[in-house]
Homo-oligomer: A and B are copies of this chain.
Amino acid sequence: MRTRRAEYSESTRQALVDSAVDLFTERGYAGTSLDEVVKRARVTKGALYHHFSGKQALFEAAFARVETKAIESLTAVVTGDGEPWDAAVAALRAYVRKCLEPEYQRIIVHEAPVVMGWERWREAEEHFSFGLLRTAVQLLVDAGEIEEAPVEIMARLLFGALSAGASTIASSSDPKRTGREVEDAILRVLQGLRKK
């Protein structure tokens, strides 16, 4: 039986992470002060330091929150029914759409590599979206849809291209048109890799 105290504690922690996600999305890591985070969560810094060792740890919790939510929706797409090719195309589309969400783009794509450092970010991503993307590429290779290739590398290039594409769409004056162009370009690249 879970105590009321444990419940309150967890609720406070959630509120802190929720507030951090909102503020990091809006202002970035450097532009967000811990005082604002705690104010928004209706606690004080003591509570924050009780749950997290510092600002970076809070960021990593925010990162994990956003990515956990992301892979919930992406996993079904990657491992779903249908031809491997169609599943891969659907996964890439879904990933681009995910990158268009403000919190994913700001926290995962833009801020995390710098805040966490590239290597730590890369390592974390193995268990989240990048891991899924690599699975999608692996499934294509296994199904014989594309030539044998170092899956890791191919997935890395795709990951870089997709997030660049999404950032381009997000900052476009005509996101619909840019979105179609990005999608077409990605499909062309993928088609070019396909075995005949």
B165-A153 in contact (CB<8A): yes
Which residue of the partner chain, among B153, B164, B191, contacts A192 with CB atoms under 8 Å?
B191
What residue in chain B is nearest A170 (Cβ atoms)?
Answer: B118
Contact-residue bracket for chain A: 35 or more
Given contacts A30-B30, A118-B171, A153-B168, contact A193 B188 (CB under 8 A): yes
Copies of the chain in the assembly: 2
Task: Decide yes or no whether A189 CB sits under 8 A from chain B.
Answer: yes
Interface of A is mostly: helix
In the complex, A1 has a CB within 8 A of chain B: no
A interface list, Cβ under 8 A from B: 28, 30, 110-111, 113-114, 118-119, 122, 147, 149-150, 153-154, 156-165, 167-168, 170-171, 178, 181-182, 184-186, 188-189, 191-193
